[in-house]
Amino acid sequence: MPTEVFILNGVNLGTLGQRRPEVYGSLTLSDIERMLEGKFPAVEFEFRQTDYEGEMVGFIREAAESGGLALNPGAWTHYSYALHDALEAVLVPKVEVHLSNVHARESWRRHSVVSPAVDAVVAGMGASGYVTAVQYILSRSEDRR
């Protein structure tokens, strides 16, 4: 039976490929989605992106019945206690993903209010960080079965 994995992308990630490619890479979200579908053909992906925090909370709640979720919260990483609380309530494998190495950038980017509510964090691996996140989710989903 295929596993459903939610890939959730937050604020400003809809501009990937255009916004600061020297930091975030030249791939678009569509490119990343195609890459994941190609690497994991047995996985049913639910890809979502929003610039609205409340909508993201709803997406996280929807993922509660899935095999797991990977979330790139963008700037919400640093201040969204709403995302933190929503993630705490969802009992599936959860991974926080960042394309850039947030720990090597501005000091304000080094603190995440989301990290305490997820199982793992991937940062600085570019688009391949999503692959690592999905691999982790699938391994945790297998353990839960």
Residues labelled catalytic: 24, 98
Q: Is 142 exposed, middle or buried (0-12, 13-18, 19+ CB in 10 A)?
A: exposed
Query: 108-137 b/e with 16+ CB inside 10 Å = b?
Result: ebeebbbeebbebbbbebbbebbbebbebb
